[in-house]
């Protein structure tokens, strides 16, 4: 068995694991990143791409935001569409902040390139990963790579391997509780080779179901439709998709989508999940390994960035000042932000979607709430503050 020693073993090479590795490298903390998939798969996983103001600044400060700054699309607001009329929520006027639209897979590409440039280990296609001795001061990671058994001894293990990864299951039985909510619908998402028909995202509430107009670049449009939770994308030929998108996103002022070749199609489940606590011994969870939010509020990747930002600072304090405080505070402090994001994402979802049990009373109540949001500066500010990202709290007290 090949044996290695490092300070932090990171499980998963998604946004959370890669950013954590970069932040640790910047302060001289050694790490090894292990990923079950191959590099091509990891770099081409299409996910959401709305980056909060603070998340973008974190990426820039970490040294992995240069291409995002060149190619990302700055959005100073969004539009809410209901009853055929669009209403703009002006982030800049309400909060002085903005969001950046830049594909998550592009961020991953940037961070993989940065990781490889550091010469710190990043291993793809690892198998049979086991996390051992997590309650000790010297946890171990066992894995197989190219037919060879490996053992890593480390100080900490960061579980950044997503909802279906192995890290959360490594907690002892009874040491962790999962809180979950499943929504009675899903999103059918497409990528189309078509110039976006507008400069900002449009969230549409319609009697036939929610729809979202978004974009990935000046030539690629991203669009979503509310569908049944068990919907088969094969039931949605291109013509049907465009017909339904036009219907749900039509406006009184004649604004219309630009059609183009659909190059990707898939269904995204709508659910919420939170694991408490996010730490046991020397194993700490981050990103989707610890929480899932419905995509309506665009919080998934942003929560992962907030997690590893806090975790990296806690580890820096541990190694630099021999302080355990940040490690002890990691889970409760992260969970404060996570539950606020769950509240906002759930609120946005209920504001814009049709539910199976909806009565006419509920639909009229929903319309009244939308009218209040777009006509009340206080209500619009609440939406804007959450969407651009709540401020980071002080990570560690001195």
Residues belonging to the active site: 75, 203, 295, 299, 387
Distances, alpha carbon 167 to alpha carbons 31, 205, 283, 292, in Å: 17, 38, 8, 15
State both tokens at 195: 């110039």
From residue 281, alpha-carbon distances to 31, 138, 159, 310 in Å are 18, 10, 12, 17
Do residues 78 and 203 lie in contact, with contact meaning Cβ atoms separated by under 8 Å? yes
- φ, ψ of residue 59 to 5 degrees: the values are -65, -40
Distances from the Cα of 127 to the Cα of 104, 163, 229, angstroms = 25, 17, 32
Residue of 212, 174, 167 lying closest to 9 (CA atoms): 167
Please report, to the nearest 10 degrees, the dihedral formed by the alpha carbons of residues 34, 38, 41, 47 taken in order: 0
Structure tokens given for 332 = 């409760």
DSSP-derived 3-state class of residue 313: helix
Number of other CB atoms surrounding residue 219 within 10 Å: 12
Spatial strand order in the sheet of 31-34: 122-123, 31-34, 8-11, 156-159, 283-285, 279-280
């Amino acid at each position: 068995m090949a044996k290695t020693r490092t300070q932090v073993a990171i499980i998963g090479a998604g946004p959370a694991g890669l950013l954590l590795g970069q932040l640790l490298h910047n302060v001289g903390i050694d790490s090894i990143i292990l990923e079950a998939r191959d590099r091509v798969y990891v770099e081409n996983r299409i996910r959401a791409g709305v980056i909060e103001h603070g998340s973008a600044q974190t990426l820039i400060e970490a040294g992995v935001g240069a291409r995002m700054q060149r190619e990302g699309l700055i959005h100073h607001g969004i539009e809410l569409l209901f009853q055929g009329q669009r209403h703009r929520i002006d982030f800049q006027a309400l909060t002085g902040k903005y969001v950046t639209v830049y594909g998550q897979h592009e961020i991953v590409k940037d961070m993989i390139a940065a990781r490889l440039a550091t010469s710190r280990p990043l291993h793809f296609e690892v198998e049979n990963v086991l996390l051992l001795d997590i309650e000790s001061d010297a946890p171990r990671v066992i894995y197989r790579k190219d037919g060879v058994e490996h053992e890593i001894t480390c100080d900490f293990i960061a579980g950044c391997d997503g909802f279906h990864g192995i890290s959360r299951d490594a907690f002892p039985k009874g040491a962790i509780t999962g809180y979950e909510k499943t929504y009675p619908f899903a999103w059918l998402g497409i990528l189309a080779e078509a110039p976006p028909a507008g400069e900002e995202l449009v969230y549409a509430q319609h009697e036939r179901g929610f729809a979202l107009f978004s974009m990935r670049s000046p030539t690629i449009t991203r669009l979503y439709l509310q569908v049944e939770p068990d919907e088969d994308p094969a039931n949605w030929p291109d013509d049907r998709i465009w017909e339904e998108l036009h219907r749900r996103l039509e406006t009184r002022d004649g604004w219309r989508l630009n059609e183009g070749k659909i190059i990707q199609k898939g269904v995204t489940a709508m659910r919420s999940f939170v694991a408490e606590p996010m730490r046991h011994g020397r194993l700490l969870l981050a990103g989707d390994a610890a929480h899932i939010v419905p995509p309506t509020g665009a919080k998934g990747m942003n929560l992962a960035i907030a997690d590893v930002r806090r975790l990296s600072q806690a580890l820096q304090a541990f190694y630099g000042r021999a302080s355990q405080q940040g490690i002890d505070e990691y889970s409760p402090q992260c969970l404060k932000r996570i539950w606020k994001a769950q509240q906002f994402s759930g609120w946005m979802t209920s504001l814009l979607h049709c539910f199976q049990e909806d009565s006419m009373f509920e639909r009229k109540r929903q319309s009244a709430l939308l009218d209040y949001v777009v006509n009340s500066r206080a209500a619009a500010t609440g939406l804007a503050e959450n969407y651009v990202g709540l401020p980071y709290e002080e990570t560690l007290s001195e």
